Chains A and B, each alone.
Chain A
Amino acid sequence: MQVELRHIHKHFGAVHASNDINLTIPAGSIQGILGENGAGKSTLMKALSGFIFADSGEILLDGKPVHIASPADAINHGVGMLHQDPLDFPPMKVIDNFILGRNGGLFPDRRTAAKEFKELAVQFDFSIDPDAYVDMLTVGERQQLEILRLLWLGARALILDEPTTGISLPQKEKLFATLKKLAAQGMTIIFVSHKLEDVEFLCNRVAVLRQGQLVGEMLPPFNVDKLVEMMFGKVVSFGGRYPLTPGASTLHLEHISLEDVRLQIRDVTLDVRAGEVIGLAGMEGSGQATFLQACAGLVRPVAGKLSIKGADVTGQTHHVFKHKGVAYLPAARLEQGLVPGLSLTEHFVLAEETHGIFINRDQAIRLAQDRIKTFNIKGTPVSTVESLSGGNQQRALLALLRTPLSLILLEHPTRGLDIESTMYIWSKLKERCAQDGAAIIFISADLDEVLQYSDRVLVFFTGKVSSPLDAEKVTVEQLGQLIGGKGWEAIHA
């Protein structure tokens, strides 16, 4: 099916999220949509899949103008969308997820549906048990389920939003093979990503978005430098590496084992030294988040010993860790890190040591003004945290950290932030390493970020933890292989 977008405009308040987008995607092609976070990729795809309506402009399918009223209407027109976090029902069975949304009689015929499901799955070499519960599937399998469901509903154009985030390498290879096969059958694939290598490998045409505008299109062979320039508007340099001067041991893990519902981590020993940065790499849900929480005392190891600066803290609560200079910054800033409804000033008051019973308002306001200035937060002392942008929320979280600290634990510290905020956040973090000798352990899905800022890297794969790798000697490719479960023999040899 040929998909055509003509003069699409969409405003969100003052933001021009789609600015006169014109794009024609011929049937049977795999169209890459590149752009960094906030470039307007999602807005455009949401307009195409019926989630939002463009302020003006036209959508044409096979040359005919259509009005797409809702996501369900989109699929009636043959446009299916696979969301980054698959929109399914985790506590329900695969087969029920498959059936739901398809019209039919009062009592769905599960047996026929299961048969058709299996037939479809075989075509693409997927093996999912229709009677399994979705919450026991991996993200990759949930994507496969969604793809099958959309095909079953008659999708002729498939939009995939950042599908390679959070799935394993074999699953990624399988996904790409599937997409190529579908395209060969005449399906239109729209592949939204900010990952150059995926787009380069998979797509046979690319469009680049920046700040709501379509800044260019390209056919293979792709000029990667040119694409980068189109995405960012300038060639980005991350700045030089900082040489490591390892200090004393801050956190020491001895034969730590962890367990949660999904996976087990066995026997990890690690010595974290003052001033160093350790990056945790792995597909989402490979165990790195649990590991980081264990370092913060939020999860109790089932075996092993933890000590901070020589003091045994095994089995202690997070607050004991906190008193020993450990700080933990969760990925969900507004849900877990900050208190919506409270102002910046109130946050700073909460984070400080208290004196007496009553709060000194003037002093609190002064403190807030001071921090807002130091950390370059766009907001006032009375701004509530939910009114801040993501970047400013992260700055606020950093501003809340006490001094001195011995260990800072961060989950996706720059997720969803623009380049400027990212670099600012890291400069502040590195400052703390250099000045108060804090050590940092962080999780990131961005392998470039992991290699750029870490001194050592731990790779996680379904609960397996690599020995610490020297970030200077590992390449992005190698890391990519490892997080997908390949090449583990070599590093442990």
Chain B
Amino acid sequence: MRNNKWFNLGVQLAAVILALLFVTVILLLVKAPPLAAFQNIMIGSVGSWAKFSDVLISFVPLLLVTSGLLVTFAAGLWNIGIEGQITLGAIFATWMMRTLQDSTLPPALIIILTILAGMFGGAIWAALAGALKTFGGVNEIFGGLGLNFVATALNIWLIFGPWKRPGVASMSGTVPFDVKLWLPMIPDTRLSAWALGIAIVGIIVTYFLLQGTYFGLRLKAVGKNTHAAYLLGIPTWQYMMVSFALCGVFAGLAGAMQVTAVYHRLIPSISSGYGYLGLMVAMLVNYQAAWAAPVALFFAALNIGSIQLPVVLKLDSTLAGVLQGALVLFVLLADGVRQRFVKK
């Protein structure tokens, strides 16, 4: 049997090398020096503590949405509406913060309520996609996509309308909150240890939820065969709704973190594509929670590392997305080739 662990690992390594080769070709296409580009990404992400703390800042929302997506994937659902759920989380969080910022409540309580509001907002938006799916028969991919656009529009309307800065509304977002309402940061960085802690607790909870509980097992049954799961006595649509809502809670949490710990205000592109990126991470780890954290960290590093590319090499920072996409694509294809041609 060639179907052993080392062989699988070899196939995946080959896929990674192919992906890197693909990106090298792309770089050569725009006449850029590939080695310098890779080196810059590396320096830009782990070259200094400041850079690495930026990686961790980006790691927090990515890991949170990945955790949520693992729950919906377990239920066999493609929660593409995750972007909108992050946005709604951010909107609800901002709304709570704006409501309470001038009150006499202690800042810690305001922050907690803000985060809770964000989780609630994400859950609502996810539940909407879930309801469209379970009650309306609308495939979650299309319902989710539509809701993403609506969420973006709602966000922009708020920033340019009711919540606009005094004077002139702008793409820079709403008025920043008072410093005392920010999640505390580690000195000399913009990283909040609280946010990082919450994200790590999130993935651990997800891991145990899916691996060891009745809930996780039932969710898997629903995902693999809804009809049989129903006959086995599992309330299937309720489980689907719960998995949507749970994912929404994670997404909303990510949105709330962006508001309270990173931007300290609502900005137009608050979801920053973390939702779609989370889908990629989940695919790359083959929907298993165990590897989610390291891969999310790596993807976050690519994101941050590519930020300085435009300045240093006059390259667009979307190189990170190209690299990430190529990685997932080649790993998926390599796995397909292995299953199709090698195992026989």
Contact = CB atoms under 8 A, between A and B. Distances in A.
A328 B228 CA distance: 10
Contacts of A357: 213-215
Interface stretch (B121-129, B172-180, B231-239, B309-317): B231-239
B231 A358 contact: no
Interface in B231-265: 231-235
Given A338-B228, A340-B224, A359 B235 contact: no
Given A319-B235, A339-B221, A349 B214 contact: yes
Given A349-B217, A350-B217, A359 B212 contact: yes
B213 A359 contact: yes
A400 B221 CA distance: 15
Given A319-B233, A338-B228, A342-B217, 13 more contacts: A330-B231, A339-B220, A339-B224, A339-B225, A340-B224, A342-B221, A349-B214, A350-B217, A350-B218, A350-B232, A357-B213, A359-B213, A359-B217
Given A319-B233, A322-B233, A350-B234, A336 B227 contact: yes
Tell me if B's interface is mostly helix, strand, loop or mixed.
helix
Contacts of A350: 217-218, 221, 229, 232-234
A351 B231 CA distance: 10
A335 interface: yes
Nearest to A329: B231
Interface string A341-357: 11000110111001011
A186 interface: no
27 contacts: A318-B231, A319-B235, A328-B231, A335-B225, A335-B227, A335-B228, A336-B228, A337-B228, A337-B231, A339-B220, A339-B221, A339-B224, A340-B224, A341-B220, A341-B224, A342-B221, A342-B224, A346-B217, A347-B232, A350-B221, A351-B233, A354-B214, A357-B213, A358-B213, A358-B214, A359-B212, A359-B214
Interface in A377-404: 400
B49 interface: no
B230 interface: yes
Contacts of B227: 330, 335-336
Interface size on A, as a range, is: 20 to 34
Contacts of A318: 230-231
B51 to A, nearest CB: 41
Contacts of A354: 214
Q: Residue among B215, B220, B221 with the most chain A CB within 10 A?
A: B221
Nearest to A337: B228
Contacts of A322: 233
A341 B227 CA distance: 14
Nearest to A357: B213
Contacts of B230: 318
The 6 A-B pairs with the shortest beta carbon distances in the complex, nearest first, are A339-B225, A341-B224, A354-B214, A336-B227, A339-B221, A339-B224
Nearest to B208: A358
Given A330-B231, A350-B234, A351-B233, A340 B225 contact: yes
Nearest to B216: A359
A340 B220 CA distance: 11
A465 B225 CA distance: 33
Contacts of A337: 228, 231
A349 B235 CA distance: 16
A152 B140 CA distance: 46
B235 A358 contact: no
B73 to A, nearest CB: 13
A347 B214 CA distance: 11
B39 to A, nearest CB: 43
Contacts of B232: 339, 347, 350-351, 400
